[in-house]
Amino acid sequence: MAIHIVDRRLNPGSKSLENRQRFLRRAKALVQGAVKKSSQERDIKDVLEGGEVSVPIDGMDEPRFRREGGTRDMVLPGNKKFVEGDMLPRPNQSGGKGRGAGEGDSEDTFRFVLSRDEFVDLFLDDLELPDLAKRKLAEVECEGIRRAGYSTSGSPANISVSRTVSRALARRVALRRPRPEELAALEAELEDCSEARRVELLAEIEALKAKIKRIPFIDPIDIRYRRFETVPKPVAQAVMFCLMDVSGSMTEHMKDLAKRFYMLLYVFLKRRYRHVEIVFIRHTDRAEEVDEQTFFYGPASGGTLVSSALQAMHDIVRTRFRPEDWNIYAAQASDGDNSYADGEVASRLLTDKILPVSQFFAYLEVGQENGLSYEMPNSALWTLYEGLRANGAPLSMRKVNERSEIFPVFHDLFQRRSQQERTAS
């Protein structure tokens, strides 16, 4: 009987992928809760890593008819000292021996790993993402050149020598072009040979020479040129400025809204660019560049001067991110308070320095929890920005109160941007 041995290792794996996705869809509410919790604890950059989440298993179990209680009989191995008729004290309910005791609630949560995409999708989904594919960012592209095989025509500078030579060789072999050694051998023989052979040899040599002439070493049909084509190439790097007002009036809720907005922007940019830098700038009446931890959680208080943050951003752009090389994005979150005298300075900084070099500038006005965004009176900053926008500055602004508003606002901002571009061009 022949035994069949099959190597299945190369079969596509992840047969469970679809089942896994169904499970995630099914457990979406549970998993989403877990993702939300874990993204609150995460740094912006870690959002893209995917990661472990715990899901309560009892929300996902499959019911069966099961029994419990009653009298139980069990046969166990390992008797050491018992004799028939012994009464054993009943162990405490929790430490019960025997089968099934305490089973069932032993695994009330289980942790599993979400892939990067699953995590981001669920994360974005939490923000009520309607359809990722419909998002359209005004993408800045530049022409790039890439190799695109070979062609039979082109400029001499682009002749591919190796390709040409190898084609020529193939042709010479195929057409049996005599090699120089063959000719040399015959000629050597010609030096000293009999007369009869001599005639023969001369004829052969003649034939060879004719053939060599007929079949050139390199024929024009051998020549190949390297072909290039131009492709639109996304600019490879972007920098994102997170500007946040941290004066005393910013509550934790507001910072959380801002953080979510920044995360979204980061995820969004990260999917578009190979390399994304983040600069965190917080400001009171003076601005400083800080790390993420300090940005969101560091205690700071003081007056408010928005221009300080704008000035800081401008300085950083000038020293570290040349606008020719970098796509510059900025998102500013604030509760909208600003000192009256600062408006003029901020406006000038924006119009002259920042907006001309930025791809996109978003202003997010964060409000109190449970507030209604359309009921918020226009703040100092809002009025200022609205004035700028009326003059045609590429600036988008929104008010946000609730976490659930983050995504729609985000979506809106980017829609608006592309429309503006279209009208501008």
Partner 1 sequence: MTATDQLLFQGADWDFRTLQKICDTCEQVACDELGLNVYPNQIEVITAEQMLDAYSSVGMPLFYKHWSFGKHFAFQEASYRKGLMGLAYEIVINSSPCISYLMEENTATMQTLVIAHAAFGHNHFFKNNYLFKQWTDADGILDYLEFAKRYVAHCEDRHGRQAVEHTLDAAHALMSHGIDRYPGKKSLDLRAEEKRAGRRRAHEEAAFNDLWRTVPGGKVKSSAILDVERRRQMLGLPQENLLYFLEKTAPRLRPWQRELLRIVRHIAQYFYPQSQTKVMNEGTATYVHYRIMSRLHQQGRLTDGNFLEFLQSHTNVVFQPEFDDPRYSGFNPYALGFAMMQDIERIVTDPDAEDREWFPDIAGKGDAMAVLRDIWANYRDESFISQFMSPRLMRHFRLFHLHDDPEERAGILVDAIHNERGYRRLRRELARQYDVGFIDPNIEVVDVDLAGDRRLMLRHTVVKGAQLTETDTKRVLQHLADLWSYDVSLVESDASGTVLKEYVAHPRNISVAA
Binding site for partner 1 (CB under 8 A): 1-9, 11, 13-16, 18-27, 57, 60, 62-80, 82-90, 97-99, 110-113
State which residue, 26 or 45, has the beta carbon closest to partner 1: 26
Sorted by sequence, the CB contacts under 8 Å of residue 188 that are 6+ apart come out as none
Residue type, 14: S
Q: Classify residue 226 by burial, with Cβ atoms within 10 Å: 0-12, 13-18, 19+.
A: middle
Least distance to partner 1, CB of residue 114, Å:
9
Q: Classify residue 41 by burial, with Cβ atoms within 10 Å: 0-12, 13-18, 19+.
A: exposed
Least distance to partner 1, CB of residue 23, Å:
3
Buried (b) or exposed (e) across 350-364, using 16+ Cβ within 10 A?
Answer: beebbbebbbbbbbb
Least distance to partner 1, CB of residue 41, Å:
20
State which residue, 75 or 142, has the beta carbon closest to partner 1: 75
3-state secondary structure of 89: coil
Sorted by sequence, the CB contacts under 8 Å of residue 244 that are 6+ apart come out as 250, 255, 258, 280, 281, 282, 283, 295, 332, 333, 334
The tokens 């008010």 sit on which residue? 399
Least distance to partner 1, CB of residue 69, Å:
6
Least distance to partner 1, CB of residue 95, Å:
11
State which residue, 89 or 377, has the beta carbon closest to partner 1: 89
CA geometry: angle at 161 spanning 157 and 163, to 5°?
Answer: 120
State which residue, 1 or 29, has the beta carbon closest to partner 1: 1
Sorted by sequence, the CB contacts under 8 Å of residue 151 that are 6+ apart come out as 224, 225, 227
Least distance to partner 1, CB of residue 113, Å:
7
Least distance to partner 1, CB of residue 36, Å:
19
Considering Cα of 23, then 25, then 30, then 32, what sign does the dihedral take? positive
State which residue, 89 or 299, has the beta carbon closest to partner 1: 89
Q: Report the candidate in 21, 160, 337, 203 with the shortest Cα–Cα distance to residue 346.
A: 337
Least distance to partner 1, CB of residue 2, Å:
8
State which residue, 93 or 162, has the beta carbon closest to partner 1: 93
Per the CB < 8 A criterion, the answer to whether 141 and 77 are in contact is no
State which residue, 84 or 192, has the beta carbon closest to partner 1: 84
Sorted by sequence, the CB contacts under 8 Å of residue 44 that are 6+ apart come out as 259, 262, 263, 266, 278, 292
State which residue, 90 or 134, has the beta carbon closest to partner 1: 90
Least distance to partner 1, CB of residue 39, Å:
19
Q: Report the candidate in 349, 368, 364 with the shortest Cα–Cα distance to residue 311.
A: 349
State which residue, 71 or 370, has the beta carbon closest to partner 1: 71
Q: Report the candidate in 224, 111, 83, 246 with the shortest Cα–Cα distance to residue 162.
A: 224
Backbone phi and psi for residue 107, each to the nearest 5 degrees, phi listed first? -120, 80
Least distance to partner 1, CB of residue 103, Å:
9
3-state secondary structure of 41: coil
Buried (b) or exposed (e) across 291-322, using 16+ Cβ within 10 A?
Answer: ebeebbeeeeeeebbbbbbbbbbbebbeeebe
Q: Report the candidate in 314, 329, 325 with the shortest Cα–Cα distance to residue 364.
A: 329
Least distance to partner 1, CB of residue 80, Å:
7
State which residue, 85 or 156, has the beta carbon closest to partner 1: 85
State which residue, 11 or 370, has the beta carbon closest to partner 1: 11
Per the CB < 8 A criterion, the answer to whether 201 and 193 are in contact is yes
